[in-house]
Chain A
C-alpha cells in the first residue's frame, strides 16, 4: 500500500524526465532541480554533485502543474462527504497542484471569514486551494457579496454554482462589479422552468426511462443570455460545465465576435452519454445531465477548435446514503479528481489525436488565465508547480483506492491509458 502522504524536501532533483511546457517552448529531455518552492535549474544536471532528494523520472513526462477550476470540497457543512484535506489529497493523487473550490457549502462561501477558514484548512497541503466565492449572499440570488474584499482575500472568481444567477439584472451587475475587481463570474447555466425538476437529459432515452427530463435548451438559453450580457457590458463571463451542442455553437459564435466568454466542460461528458442512464445507476446522475452522442461530438470539436477553454472535473462527492436510492431521489454529481486526467489522456490523446500541449492548455494554462491565478512556467526561478505524467501507464480505476472520502464514480473498473505519476508543489513531492 503506497503512502497517501506527500514528502517534504529542501532540494529535489527530477532526473531523466521529458519536459513539455508550451510557455517555455520546451519539449525535450531535461533534469530539474527544485529548491523549496522554486525551480533552480532546468537542463542536463550531474547528479553526483547533488545532495538532496533524487527522483528517477526516466520514461516520465513533466508538465506545468495541472489545475482543476471546478471542484466541490463540501467543507464546511458536509464533512462526511469530503473535507478540504481529503479533497486536496484526492487532487494530489489525480495530478493537480491547484484546484478552485465552489462556494456551495453549508454555509456558502460568501464572506471574508469563510475565505479565511478555507485558507486555514488548506494551509500546508501540497495542492493549492483557490476559493471561488458566491455571487450573492447565501447563494440566494438577491444581494451581491462583498466582491472587492473577497477578491483581495483570495477569491479567484464568483459563482452561485449549483444554481444559476437567474435574475438577468443582477447578473449584469455581478459581471460588471466582478470585472471592476479583476474577477470573472462563473455561471451554472440552467433555466429551472425548462429543466422542470428533471433528472436526466430529454431524449429518446428519457422516453424509454420515464424519468422527468432536462432539455438541452435549459442550459443553452442561459448561455445565450450570459453571452449577450457580456457583449453589452464588455465584462468577462465563464460558462461552467458546458454539456450541449447548442451551448458550444453559441459560445463559438460569441468568440468569433470577440465577446469575453470562456467555457469549460467535464471529462464525463466526453466519454458517457444519456444511454447509460437506462441502467438507473445513480452514478450516472449529474447536473447538467449526460447528453446525447451528438452533444458529445460537439464538445470534443469545441475543445479542439478552442471554443471550450478548460476541462474541469466538477468533482461532486456524495455519501452512499445520497446515492444508493431510486434514481429520482438520488443526489446529482460524481467525484472526478482522481479520474479526470486519466480519462482526458485516454480519450482526447488516445482517441481524438489531441497533443499534450493542448491538454496542458485545457488543464493548466487556461484555468489559471481565467481565474487570474499566476501562470506556471518550467524555467529557472519560476514557481515549482509540476505534474509528472506516465503516459504509457495502463491502469484500472479502483474507487477503493481513492483519497477522496466519496466513491460515487461511474468509472470504477474502467481501463485507462496514461495518468498522473506524481506532483511537486509547496516544498512537497508525491509520487506513486
Chain B
C-alpha cells in the first residue's frame, strides 16, 4: 500500500488507511533495526534537511538517525547557528536551502501553521516535526504504534491525555490520530490548560484524575512547562503534582492493565513519579525506539515507497 500524502503536516484529516499503512511499515522497519547492520539503501541519493528553529534533542536525533538508517544524505540546520539570528525570514531561509535541491524538509518551528506555510513555499516534501501548539504528527504516530504494540489494537480503547492540553502539539496530534483509528479519547488537566470547546473535537473531558484513571486503558502524560505557572495558569508545581501527578499510589486504583506513555522529557516527581515511569505499566522507552521506526516509515512512504518494501532484500 502507498499513502495518499505528499507532506506530513499533521494527523488531522489523515485517514485510518494511511495511518495503518504507516504503522505497518514502521513495524517492518523495527525488525530492520534489530539486524546486525540496521541499515537499508532505500533513500540513497535523497537529500534531507533537518530545520530546527526550536531546541530539540530526541526528535532531532530520532529523525537524523532514521534518515541515516535509510541511507539518505542529511544536513542539519538549527536556529542558533543560522542566519535566523540575523533577521532572515523563514521564507528566505527556506528558499536558500531549497536552491540547494533538497528532497525533504523536516522542520520544527514555534509558529503554528509554519509547516503548512513551508509546504506552500517549496517543492520538497515537508514533514512537520512540531509547529508551535498545532501538531507533532510523528509523535502521534509513534504513540499509536506503541499502544498498538502493547495492547494489540487501538480501536475501542479508552486513551486519556493528561496535563497541559492547550499548549500541546502532542495532544492535538494524538487526538486526531486516535479518533481516526477508532479510539475513545479523553483529556484531563487544569481547567486553565484545556483549550476552548475541546469537547467539540469529540473527546471526553475528565474533571477528576481518579475518574480518568478508572476509565482508561492507556494514559499519555504530558510534560508540564514551568513557564505556565509563571504565566498564572496554575499555582504551583507542588499543587500540580497533588492534583494531576501520576504516582504509583494513584495507579493502584487505575483500570487493570493500564499502559502509561510520556512523550518526554519527563519532570520526574511532578507530572509523573519515577516508580511509574520506570515501572511495568510504562512504555516510555518503547516510544523512543518506535519513534525511530515511525520516522523511517514516514520518510520511506512519502518518498513513494510501498508498505511491503521493495528494497528490503537489498539490505546491507
Contact = CB atoms under 8 A, between A and B. Distances in A.
A211 B116 CA distance: 14
Contact of B134 (A202, A210, A325): A210
A325 B90 contact: yes
Contacts of B134: 209-211
A11 B117 CA distance: 54
Contact of A328 (B89, B111, B172, B195): B111
Interface residues of A, number: 19
A280 interface: yes
Interface in B193-237: 195-198, 200-201
Contacts of A325: 89-91, 117
A326 B197 contact: no
Given A210-B131, A210-B134, A326-B90, A204 B112 contact: no
Interface string A195-220: 00000001110111111110100000
B109 interface: yes
Contact of A204 (B132, B135, B197): B197
A210 B134 CA distance: 4
A207 B195 CA distance: 6
B112 A209 contact: yes
B91 A210 contact: no
Given A203-B196, A204-B201, A210 B172 contact: yes
Find the residue from B109, B112, B133 having the highest chain A CB count within 10 A. B112
Interface residues of B, number: 25
Contacts of B263: none
B12 interface: yes
Contacts of A203: 196-197
B113 interface: yes
B114 interface: yes
A327 interface: yes
Q: Which of A210, A213, A327 neighbours the largest number of chain B CB atoms within 10 Å of its CB?
A: A210
Contacts of B116: 280
Contacts of A56: none
Contacts of A211: 112-113, 132-134
Given A209-B112, A211-B113, A280-B117, A328 B132 contact: yes
A207 B198 contact: yes
Interface in B62-91: 89-91
Given A326-B109, A329-B90, 20 more contacts: A202-B196, A203-B197, A204-B196, A204-B200, A207-B195, A207-B197, A208-B172, A209-B112, A209-B113, A209-B134, A210-B113, A210-B133, A210-B134, A211-B133, A325-B117, A326-B113, A326-B117, A328-B110, A328-B132, A329-B111
Interface of A: 202-204, 206-213, 215, 280, 324-329
